[in-house]
Structure 1
Amino acid sequence: MLDVDRSLSGTNTYTFSGGNGMRTLSDLIPIATLAAGLLAPACHTRPLTAAPPRAVVYETDIRPLLVARCGRCHAGGKAKGSLDLGSLSGIRRGSETGAVVIPGKPEKSLLVEVLAEGSMPPDGKNRPTRAEVSKITAWIRNGARTRGGDFNAKAALTQEDVLPILFTRCVVCHGGREKRGGLDLRTRRAMLKGGKSGPAIVPGKPDASLLVKKIHDRDMPPPKLLVDFGIRPVEVGEFETIRGWIAAGAPEVKVVVDVAGPTPDRLVSKQDRDFWAFRAPKKPPVPSVAKRDLAARISSPIDAFLLKALDGKSLEYSPEADRLTLVRRVAFDLTGLPPTWTQVETFLSDKRPGAYARMVDRFLASRHYGERWGRYWLDLAGYADSEGKRSADPIRPHSWRYRDYVIRAFNGDKPYDRFLLEQIAGDELADVASAETITPELMDNLVATGFLRQAPDGTGSDIVNTVVERFEVIIDEIDVLGSSVLGLTVKCAQCHNHKYDPIPQRDYYRLVAVFQGAYDVYDWLKPSFVPGQTKSKAAGRVLPYLTPVEQQRHAASRAVVEKQIADAKQALAELKTSLEKQHAEKRLAGLPEVLREDLRRMLATPGKKRDAVQKYLAGKFEKRLSITVAALKKQNPRFKTLTKTTNDRVKQLQAEMPVEPRIRALWDRGAPSPTWLFRRGQYNKPGHRVGPGVPSVLTDGKTPLKINPPWPGARSTGRRLAMARWLVDPGHPLTARVIVNRIWFHHFGRGLVETLSNFGNTGSRPSHPRLLDWLARTLIEQGWSIKRMHRVMMNSSAYRQISAIRPEAEAIDPENRLLWRMPLKRMDAEVVRDSILAVAGRLHDTPFGPPDPVDVRPDGLVTSREASDGWRRSVYIRHRRKHMPTILETFDLPQMIPNCVERPDSTVASQALHLFNDGMIRKLSDAFAERVTREAGREPYKQVERAYQLALNRMPSDTEREVGLAALEELTRLWRQKAAGTPAKTKTQTSASAPSQRALATYCHTLLNSAGFLFID
């Protein structure tokens, strides 16, 4: 398979997959001599008198040669890489990467290049001779003649040229979910059958074909429906293609869908599959460590692997860290929060063997564990509470359910294989639509598919969205899946064969076909409608399934608000009725008394219940006895005021009305449209059809995806479920390796494979390949338990080392790849904010539910809104792509476009400036000081100790205590001096404003800005 990059200098770099893997011409034997012989004209010492040779033409001279040499892959119904060398139209069309023959320019024709240097056929069998290559070269040099004369004559049109146009412009109304007018345009046969108005096409007679007439007259697609269905009128070129096809008799060719078969894929070589990451991991034996002093540090099999490598470089572990360091390290690693002093003392006082392991288990059991480790996964999924793409950035009202699902999954130690199954194909694990009751498990299955609904999606933000915008969503979701689960840069194969990894473009579109049942660009569902934010009012891609408990909770919440609205309206209604009666009585006083009682009864009777006499009286007197609301407002100021306040209150309550519960999910809708390979990634340049599949380099070369309906009679295709089961198969080369590498990264600061989402050729090689495979197999053997993997890693001696640098070790391994010490790590964005809240005593502990709103100042500062009892953890703040909380963004919170596989770790001035100057941080410093005073009293000595316990999780040293006391004394003097210069009328007498308390708040603020607080040793 050939691909080409044309550089700015005009030179070409060719990449192809053959028997020797993906290579470039620079890796091969130079072919200049051969090319010169093929391209240069022959030289003769004397003129020849023989008759001129017969012109070489494709049909009789070239086609038989190409079929004989290349037909296994590129003729006879096979068109690997979209290249058919067995037909003139196929050669004209070229391959999925572009033209292969340029008439008159053999030196620029890719066909000559690959044949001349011998890379095709890829297995080296049945290669063309030099004379045959010379014949092909001469044919191209002479204009690539054909019997018809002109190589560039248009190829015969077939249904495969027309159907992609009809699917893009017409099938949404004629053949997909609907068949308006009884018309189905998905097949030639259906077009001939037609609808209520007759056949859509008349082969050979385009002007007599209804399809042509309707398009020409702009009746189809109907202009009034373009917005509703997100389509555009048929373009001129497309119209000419449809017309030309019908004029040619509407020819139909047999379509062979490109799907993985039972034989090895010729586009991926054995050498490709032998790359370390593409082979299934095998569990190696734990190595032995000969040196007694090194062997004494083995607390886990991990240590044996690491110490063996260290010993090879004459290195050893650093000493074990003290208990205060370890408890702080474990607490932040597992919960993202500082340990309480009670947790510290519990560990320090536990002198029994196994105290450290028990401390790790306690933090693993904390429900804050899921909030910390769930956040890592949410980064990979690209979690956000808004749609992105457009400046409006509409809110996703139901996205938070997926966030809660992830947190619960980590807290419950849901097996990783099940975790993936639910997220990729939860809708295909059970027949939810037929269930009598929506159980929490069924609901989790649906909510989990939100994993594939997190990518930016602008298809609901504009009035019209087209195939381009829809395909962007699918591209991003495949990118998320590839980077988070597979650890491959799959997206690089969207427009052409992957330049570096053995992933043909065809494999990329097989993945698109896997998603086609749920994400169909020709049968699209927009995101959920958000009043005032999104322009499409369609129901959207949400589901109404809820557990009975949640339905009752929602009904109760709505009832409370509805009663408040009813109460507000009732007071106004009672006043209005009273005033109307007064007005009527005044008017009745001017009428004959004999009529008054009858008129009162008429006014008190609803219109539909009045008898004939009352209707007569109403016609004569009701208008005279009634008064309009406008007149009441003019006559009665109280009524006017109450009307305004009531209306304002009702609007406010209606805005607070609980949103109808829904699930933002992905589900298979059945009957997917065909999947065409898009040449160069452009939807209007469709290639051949492909079926669902997975990257063939990750299979054994023979096993196709096993796709079956998930249950008898299911409408669902079962495609995503088949892929999910393939992903979690114990023999999968990447799934277990990728996740254990990520866990390792978060504990040790560097992955065994440093490129966390690129295990391919351009990624880094593992520093400890046997350890990586041992961890991957151990994860599988231990039931895919993430918490068990934490124990394996954290109970090692490697994890318990100090972080201090040893110059002699640094000289040998400056990047610490061999892990001779633990790295010092700065807090993540959420950990910075959450830790300050926890230390200040203002962390609100309520989990789950809709995200907390944020406030946006005119100057752009974004802060989370404070509740009466403080702020919740950062994972529960609304993550809107265009309005991210400033403190989190300053400390590298990613925006999610589409996801984040590894956060940057920047050190910039704005971080220190924010912590020093931000109003919220100063407010929390005051709260920190108040907590210290509340818990330690007003004695400075105890205040310094308590501040250190809360902020740094240890007692101060003697020097730190002396410096702290001196600082408090000096700060108190300065604040007292400042207070003395403050005008008396502006002074306040609260304890919080006392000079000593202000001094303590300043001291606490300084601790929150210290490296000891912000870095985890």
Structure 2
Amino acid sequence: MPPQPLIRHSRPTFYRSDISLGLMFLLVALIPGQSPAAEPAAPVFYEDNVKAILEAKCTRCHNSEKKQAGLDLSSPRSMLKGSESGRILQAGDADASLLFQMIDADEMPPEEKDRLTPTERESLRSWIQAGTHFRKAVKTAPAVTQHDIIPLLHLRCVACHGGRRQEAGLDLRTKQSILKGGKSGPAVVPGDPESSLLIRRIKSAEMPPRRKLVSVSVKPMEANELERLSQWIELGLPEVSESELQEPETLVTEQDRQFWSFQPPAQVQPPQVQHQDRVRNPIDAFILSKLESQGLTFAPTADKRTLMRRLSIDLTGLPPTPQEIDSFLNNHDPKAYEQLVERLLASPRYGERWARHWLDVVGYADSEGAQNEDKLRPHMYRYRDYVIRSLNQDKPYSRFLLEQIAGDELVDYRSGNITPEVYDCLVATGFLRTAPDRTFANITNFVPDRLEVISDEIQILGSAVMGLTIKCARCHSHKFDPIPQSDYYRLTAVFKAAYDEHDWLKSQGPRTLPYVSQQEHKKHQEHERQLSIQQGQLKQRLDQLKPTAPDYQQKSAEIKKQIDALKTQHWPAPRIRALWSRESPSPSYIYKRGNYLTPGRPVPPGVPAVLTSSDETLDFDQKAKNGKPVGRRLVFARWLTQPDHPLTARVMVNRIWLHHFGRGIVNTPGNFGRAGERPTHPELLDWLAREFVRQNWSIKSLHRLMVTSSTYRQSSEISDDAARLDPSGSLLSRMPLNRMEAEVLRDSLLYICGQLDETPFGPADSVESRADGLVTSQRGDKGWRRSIYVLQRRTKIPTLLENFDFPQMGPNCLQRGESLVAPQALHLLNNLMIHQLAEHFASRIRKESGDQPADQINQIYLRALGRPPSSEETEIGLMTLQQLEEKWKSESKDEKKPSDSSQKALTSYCHAIFNLAEFQYID
């Protein structure tokens, strides 16, 4: 484990040549009443003692060449420069020095055998403790500068004395505004903290006002913070420029940049193969080449029925109907399969199916999570609908990302002209609002709570779009990848104008926008007007009733019930859950060890250094043609979507591949770093990434390539050679047998039973907890809607979906697990809704096929499994139906209605079909 980043603090070092210091210690020891107990009997010199300790225990990792965490402990001069986080020594105070803290806590050195002995620790401690006597080795910064104080004032004071609010006319964001002061005059007197109004108000507990603390989610200044502020004033408010604190980028080397995923995708040509007849497109050449190198080849092509069911469920999430199957089987056009692909990609169901995959990786949920209340997000559904629409339109992935990362900076939404493009760009930024967020309440809206939201959003962005575990660098430089801690805070600075922990908007009302179309505003107003009219009429009827009427109680109760029912039909005012830039972000600092109470050096906005060349710096101060500044997020999004970006296209290509073939080319889809798995077919991944960009980032074009390949059209049969040489299936010697995901299972059940309401878009359907402890979605007039439109509350997931591995989003899901547990079988066997669906399925079969059992069995197989039954299956089915009917007849109290018994028998048979592995698995 590499060492933690340490603090930078410039101090002179203690050299043996300081003979006068030895005399001083002697004099101090001889002065009556003065005890030298806090210091060693003799001074500890760097060259005699400390140097040997550091060389033996520390400089293996922290030397001028390796410099882990940006720290070089090989000389006094390099120690004074500190680490990537800033100072490592607090002169005269060993306990406050991060260098000594980490050593004393046995965090460093990481290996137990290298830990310092008690004697060595005491020597190091004594050397730091005598720090006020160090001879200067280099010009050093003052003990306290504005970079120690400005973050402190932002944390404790700027909520009321900053850019948004300047109570008493006071702005405490800069040295200049502090000297200017407010209505009461200058806030400080340089050199005289006791006469400074700011210090006096804080000491008297007047500021911040205790009664206002919770309302602005601020805590009072701590004693050590007040002392630091006083020291800064006493020193005359010293400043040091940011350029003096910036260090050359030494933590990321050219060797680091050579790792495969940090290099742009290479231009490769499909290889030549022996079985050229099996190559339908370049994908097959790459896959077949590796198979042939292992003595393998493709499995036989699957039959047309299997291919149609596979393709239909894959692209739309629903099985084909018997009519669709017949049409495909009777289409003898050589391009019949390609025509089927085009029809399915053009279906509106395609967007509903593939939006779910994207919503997983971005952590979509209809509730805030993060605490027991799990407050609902009434406007979040707009983002879900945006994703569905974008995929159905085949919006280029580059544009898709631009809108989600910087949609508000792409368009002029404040003009009031809310076109469909403007609306989409605002809704798209919901991508940056998916993480669990408890900051809707004052008591859970303090800086640490806000930083958790930012951290989760960085994790979502990094894993979903860049395939990197960037969040790991929040507290220390990444342990595996060349991502220093400074990179994490540079990236958060990119989002600072919208996500500023010192200038925060609560997660619910304040952080929403009203910019929906005029049509929607009018629709909402008319709906509310009609409800008000109906409520008024009912109240008037209630007022007209007399206490004296014999049925007053009954009638008044009925009217009140109707009034209450109307109250539940109110729509929330149409707003957008968005993220937008608010200008004037606070300065960004590295938080040492992730602690917001210990800010290190300031950092500008930036991107991971390993993804840029050593001499390249991304300019975040760009100007548009009209002279206006280009938003930081827009600069970042454009960098992310440049054609030769090492990760963006690769990560998306890999994710689509994963959902078509059951596993990714890189089987850690959110981690393309050193700790992730290496690609099984690196050349194919690069070819696909470049092809993706060449075809204008078209996601549907990727689908066409993949599903029309021979690789995709293989059967799932496993030959003896494949079982021996490709047991995991990673070489794709056959198509994997995949189980239906939770939503596909639920939606397919509804669809084949004729109970799927395909009404698209709009607010989510509510869910309810039943007395038996199960959670279920509510049925509407036309049935149940698709699972993607069901309320996705983190703490109340429908039981059917939860049992079949629906993710809880903490904060996102990059690859779903697949469990095989008893509750799955028990749910399909015993659940009331499943029994109801079996009844609906039986009724539909009877309506379509009549009363002949053989015809009924044939139709059941076609609808549920996509194929007719074999003669043996028909025979077993007939026998089963007969036995079930006889059973129900014997148990029936009224044997004059044999149709009831036959209906129950057919229902039981349909229920059994739901439980077949063949229904739940996609061949």
TM-score for the superposition, normalised by structure 1: 0.80
Q: Which has the larger displacement, 341-350 or 893-902?
A: 341-350
Name the structure 1 match of 2:455.
Answer: 475
Name the structure 1 match of 2:437.
Answer: 457
Of 460, 469, 489, the residue aligned with 1:489 is 469
1:587-634 Cα distance to aligned partner (Å, 9 max, x none): xxxxxxxxxxxxxxxxxxxxxxxxxxxxxxxxxxxxxxxxxxxxxx65
Matches within 5 A, 1:131-210: 143=127, 148-149=132-133, 156-210=143-197
Compute the displacement of 1:677 (Å).
Answer: 0.9
Name the structure 2 match of 1:823.
Answer: 736
Matches within 5 A, 1:550-949: 550-572=520-542, 575=544, 634=547, 645-708=558-621, 711=624, 718-949=631-862
Judge conservation of contact 1:932–1:947 (CA < 8 Å) in 2. Answer: yes
1:707-728 Cα distance to aligned partner (Å, 9 max, x none): 2467578987611111111110
Judge conservation of contact 2:91–2:132 (CA < 8 Å) in 1. Answer: no
Name the structure 2 match of 1:519.
Answer: 499
SS for the counterpart of 1:968 is: helix
Matches within 5 A, 1:343-382: 343-382=324-363
Name the structure 2 match of 1:617.
Answer: none
CA separation in 1, counterparts of 2:299 and 2:125? 70
CA separation in 1, counterparts of 2:93 and 2:677? 40
Q: Which amino acid aligns with 2:538?
A: A
CA separation in 2, counterparts of 1:520 and 1:175? 13
Name the structure 2 match of 1:311.
Answer: 292
SS for the counterpart of 1:253 is: coil
Name the structure 2 match of 1:589.
Answer: none
Of 538, 546, 568, the residue aligned with 2:516 is 546
Q: Which amino acid aligns with 1:493?
A: A
1:73-106 Cα distance to aligned partner (Å, 9 max, x none): 98799765124589969999767xx559979x99
Compute the displacement of 1:685 (Å).
Answer: 1.3
Name the structure 2 match of 1:50.
Answer: none
Name the structure 1 match of 2:375.
Answer: 394
SS for the counterpart of 2:784 is: coil
What is the root-mean-square deviation of aligned Cα atoms in Å? 3.4
Judge conservation of contact 1:388–1:394 (CA < 8 Å) in 2. Answer: yes
CA separation in 1, counterparts of 2:239 and 2:95? 19
CA shift in 2, pair 1:4/1:945, >3 Å:
same
CA separation in 2, counterparts of 1:138 and 1:172? 43
SS for the counterpart of 1:500 is: coil
Q: Which amino acid aligns with 1:458?
A: R
CA separation in 1, counterparts of 2:558 and 2:703? 58
Of 259, 264, 273, the residue aligned with 2:257 is 273
CA separation in 2, counterparts of 1:202 and 1:101? 37
Q: Confirm whether residue 417 of structure 1 aligns to residue 398 of structure 2.
A: yes
Q: Which amino acid aligns with 1:977?
A: S
Judge conservation of contact 1:740–1:775 (CA < 8 Å) in 2. Answer: yes
Runs of 4+ with deviation above 6 angstroms = 65-78, 89-95, 100-103, 105-110, 136-139, 637-641, 712-717
CA separation in 2, counterparts of 1:837 and 1:716? 52
Q: Which amino acid aligns with 2:3?
A: V
CA shift in 2, pair 1:348/1:107, >3 Å:
closer
Q: Which has the larger displacement, 232-241 or 934-943?
A: 232-241
CA separation in 1, counterparts of 2:614 and 2:254? 9
CA separation in 1, counterparts of 2:522 and 2:306? 48
Percent sequence identity is: 47
1:439-491 Cα distance to aligned partner (Å, 9 max, x none): 11110000000001000001114544210000000000000001101101111
Rg larger in structure: 1
Compute the displacement of 1:635 (Å).
Answer: 5.3
1:211-253 Cα distance to aligned partner (Å, 9 max, x none): 1222222221122222221112222322232233333433333
CA shift in 2, pair 1:251/1:839, >3 Å:
same
Q: Confirm whether residue 1008 of structure 1 aligns to residue 914 of structure 2.
A: yes
Name the structure 2 match of 1:446.
Answer: 426
CA shift in 2, pair 1:706/1:925, >3 Å:
same
Of 266, 277, 301, the residue aligned with 1:282 is 266
Matches within 5 A, 1:976-1015: 976-979=889-892, 982=893, 991=899, 994-1015=900-921
Unaligned 5+ residue runs, structure 1?
A: 6-13, 16-52, 117-135, 529-538, 577-632
Q: Which has the larger displacement, 693-702 or 311-320?
A: 693-702
1:832-873 Cα distance to aligned partner (Å, 9 max, x none): 000000011100010100000011123421000011211000
Q: Which amino acid aligns with 2:374?
A: D
Name the structure 1 match of 2:3.
Answer: 4
Unaligned 5+ residue runs, structure 2?
A: 7-41, 136-140
Q: Confirm whether residue 82 of structure 1 aligns to residue 85 of structure 2.
A: yes
CA separation in 1, counterparts of 2:574 and 2:898? 46
SS for the counterpart of 1:688 is: strand
CA separation in 2, counterparts of 1:764 and 1:224? 54
Name the structure 1 match of 2:487.
Answer: 507
CA separation in 2, counterparts of 1:91 and 1:501? 32
CA shift in 2, pair 1:462/1:342, >3 Å:
farther
CA separation in 2, counterparts of 1:101 and 1:964? 72
Judge conservation of contact 1:674–1:689 (CA < 8 Å) in 2. Answer: yes
CA separation in 1, counterparts of 2:525 and 2:366? 24
Compute the displacement of 1:642 (Å).
Answer: 5.7
Q: How many residues align?
A: 862
CA separation in 1, counterparts of 2:738 and 2:751? 19
Judge conservation of contact 2:366–2:380 (CA < 8 Å) in 1. Answer: yes
Compute the displacement of 1:691 (Å).
Answer: 1.1
1:639-671 Cα distance to aligned partner (Å, 9 max, x none): 776665544433432331111000000001110
Matches within 5 A, 1:211-222: 211-222=198-209
CA shift in 2, pair 1:774/1:974, >3 Å:
same
Q: Which has the larger displacement, 75-84 or 723-732?
A: 75-84
TM-score for the superposition, normalised by structure 2: 0.87
Judge conservation of contact 1:166–1:185 (CA < 8 Å) in 2. Answer: yes
SS for the counterpart of 2:776 is: strand
Compute the displacement of 1:792 (Å).
Answer: 0.6
SS for the counterpart of 1:676 is: strand
CA separation in 1, counterparts of 2:94 and 2:219? 31
Compute the displacement of 1:637 (Å).
Answer: 6.2
1:284-318 Cα distance to aligned partner (Å, 9 max, x none): 011111x2xx1110001011111111111110101
Compute the displacement of 1:256 (Å).
Answer: 3.3
CA separation in 2, counterparts of 1:380 and 1:147? 51
Compute the displacement of 1:165 (Å).
Answer: 1.8
Judge conservation of contact 1:106–1:137 (CA < 8 Å) in 2. Answer: no
